[in-house]
Copies of this chain bind each other. A is one copy, B any other.
Amino acid sequence: MITEINTGLPAMADPSVIQPGDEMYQIVTRLYPICRSITGNGVRQTLQILQDYIPVQIKEVPTGTPVFDWTVPKEWNIQDAWIKDPQGNIILSFKDHNLHVLNYSTPIHKTVSLAELKPHLFSLPDKPDWIPYRTSYYNENWGFCMTHRQLESLEDGDYEVCIDSSLEPGSLTYGECFLPGSTEEEVLISCHICHPSLANDNLSGISLAVKLIQWLQEQPHRYSYRFLFIPGTIGSITWLSLNEQQAFKIKHGLVATLVGDSGRFTYKKSRRGNATIDRAAAHALKHIQLPYHIIDFFPYGYDERQYCSPGFNLPVGCLMRTPHGQYPEYHTSADNLDLVQPQNLTESYQLYKTILQILEGNGIYVNQNPKCEPQLGKRGLYRAISGDNHTKSYEMAMLWVLNLSDGEHSLLEIAEKADIPFEFIQKVAVLLEEHGLLKLQTFL
């Protein structure tokens, strides 16, 4: 039992076995072609596919429902869209790529001059071969997105444009999966499902949530877990508005997104800045042996904006790889199935799992022999021959746990002070409890 501590995470990516990331990548691949938006059939279809993997409930909230300062918008659906050039050739088609349409475009079918058309065309001059992703949710408008190369090649003349969409009363659709634990306190995992064919921004987080649900279903857990699959901004506002009291059961939360690219991990702290979720994430990252950095909360980004609004101020952070806007493919057609890779997804999944394990295992134990060290040797917990240095062993973990288990330090705080992975601190705490040297005071 007395061995060196392996300070890394559980070994990752044995190439001969199926990794979690392989299954996650399959989900990403399956969902990639669907044209999602903040409402509409694309979201419903996405959630129906997820029901093949997890018990997710599909909820509908009618257009016009007031949700805090907002109103649930009209439902948007689209069948097709295209542009014909002056010669009548289709030069751009929704069927080729759903990013070609300004998301939430109103229906239109008319012929316009190039000059009239141009204000409705969006491209990326510095990335001339990529299609941008643009939306116009709350200002009725229509438009097309195309490569800048194509935009520049357009000749004068009349263009026939068609967007066969509808923007009508309907509902906002979201998914919710609740896994009751032994307590009513909740951990929230929230991901957005409103982006069309964008793989990292949206699908990677969805696949991670699915995998975490499957893992949690296989074992007992103290916390109840709530997973939300929601359209960005309006989805979290809607859920918070309809579940205002429920929201305060959330003790820890993470917004899961952008977890499939190969960039270093980025943890964006909750607004509180020193919540347990912030410390658990920082601790897990410190020992993951992969590059990472931690940033303070700022009121922009994903749905943490709403969870961390001052009236809620929930302990919800955002754990991603490269943040939004910081990788060149962000919000373009290049955020595709090449950008996301199974190995990256596996690493992200392992990291999330480690964090949840910390939350599950964290508690305060009390040393039952607080005056001087207990004699570990007579209990078979110590080496027989003394003489070497061994600052990274189970023994050191035991000494740390005994020294700091004064009723004021949680296991996570002990792991932080000892600079030893939580997993080992927790293991020796359980061992010392079995030997009567520690007593659990409370889980946290």
Binding site for B on A (CB under 8 A): 67-70, 122, 132-139, 141, 233, 236-237, 240-241, 244, 271, 296, 298-300, 305-306, 308-313, 324-325, 331, 367, 369-375, 377-378, 384-389, 391, 396, 399-400, 402-406, 417-418
The copy count of this chain in the complex is: 3
A-B contact pairs, 5 of them (CB 8 A): A133-B387, A138-B375, A299-B400, A309-B370, A311-B369
Whether A372 contacts B138 in the complex (CB less than 8 A), given A271-B403, A300-B399, A387-B132, comes out as: no
Name A373's contact: one of B132, B141, B305 (CB within 8 Å): B305
Residues of B within 8 A of A417 (CB): 296
Q: Which residues of B contact A310 (CB under 8 A)?
A: 367, 370, 402-406
Chain B residues with CB under 8 A of A404: 299, 310
Chain B residues with CB under 8 Å of A141's CB are 384-385
A384: nearest chain-B partner, CB-CB: B139
Q: Is the CB of A68 within 8 A of B309?
A: no
Distance A298 CA – B419 CA, assembled complex (angstroms):
11
Q: Which 4 A-B pairs have the closest CB atoms?
A: A311-B370, A325-B389, A311-B371, A299-B403
Is A391 a contact partner of B69 (Cβ separation < 8 A)? no
Contacts of A233 in B (CB 8 A): 373
Say yes or no: B138 contacts A377, CB within 8 Å: yes
The answer for the CA separation of A385 and B391 in the assembled complex, in Å, is 57
Query: Contact between A372 and B133 (Cβ–Cβ < 8 Å)?
Result: no
Q: Given A271-B403, A308-B403, A310-B367, are A391 and B300 neighbors across the interface (CB < 8 Å)?
A: yes
* A135→B385 CA distance, assembly (Å): 6
Q: How far is the CA of A233 from the CA of B373 in the complex (A)?
A: 9
Point out the residues of chain B lying under 8 angstroms from A67, CB to CB.
372
| Contact between chains at B389 and A324 (CB < 8 Å) | yes
Known: A138-B378, A377-B139. A372 touches B236 (CB 8 A): yes
The minimal Cβ–Cβ distance linking A293 to chain B, given in whole angstroms, is 16
Closest to A139 in B: B384
Q: Which residue of B lies closest to A417 (CB)?
A: B296
Q: Which residues of B contact A400 (CB under 8 A)?
A: 298-299
Is the pair A369, B68 in contact by a Cβ cutoff of 8 Å?
A: yes
Chain B residue nearest in CB terms to A132: B387
Least CB separation from A378: chain B residue: B138
Q: A139-B385, A298-B400 are in contact. List 20 more A-B contacts (CB 8 A).
A: A68-B369, A70-B372, A70-B375, A122-B387, A132-B387, A138-B375, A138-B377, A139-B384, A236-B372, A271-B403, A299-B399, A299-B404, A305-B373, A306-B373, A309-B370, A310-B406, A311-B369, A311-B370, A325-B388, A325-B389
Shortest CB distance A392–B (Å): 11
CB distance from A409 to the nearest CB of B (A): 9
Q: Which residues in B have their C-beta under 8 angstroms from that of A402?
A: 299, 309-310
Nearest CB in chain B: distance from A414 CB, A = 10
* Bound Cα distance A299, B403 (Å): 7
- Chain B residues near A374: list those with CB within 8 A: 68-69
Q: How far is the CA of A428 from the CA of B399 in the complex (A)?
A: 45
Residue of B whose beta carbon sits closest to that of A386: B135
Contact A135 B308, CB 8 Å, known A68-B369, A374-B69, A375-B70: no
Q: Is the CB of A396 within 8 A of B139?
A: no
Residues of B within 8 A of A134 (CB): 385-387
Task: Determine the residue in chain B with the shortest Cβ distance to A409.
Answer: B310
Within the assembled complex, what's the spacing in Å between the Cα atoms of A384 and B134? 11
Contact A372-B309, Cβ < 8 Å, known A134-B387, A384-B141, A386-B135: yes
CA distance A417 to B244 in the complex (A): 28
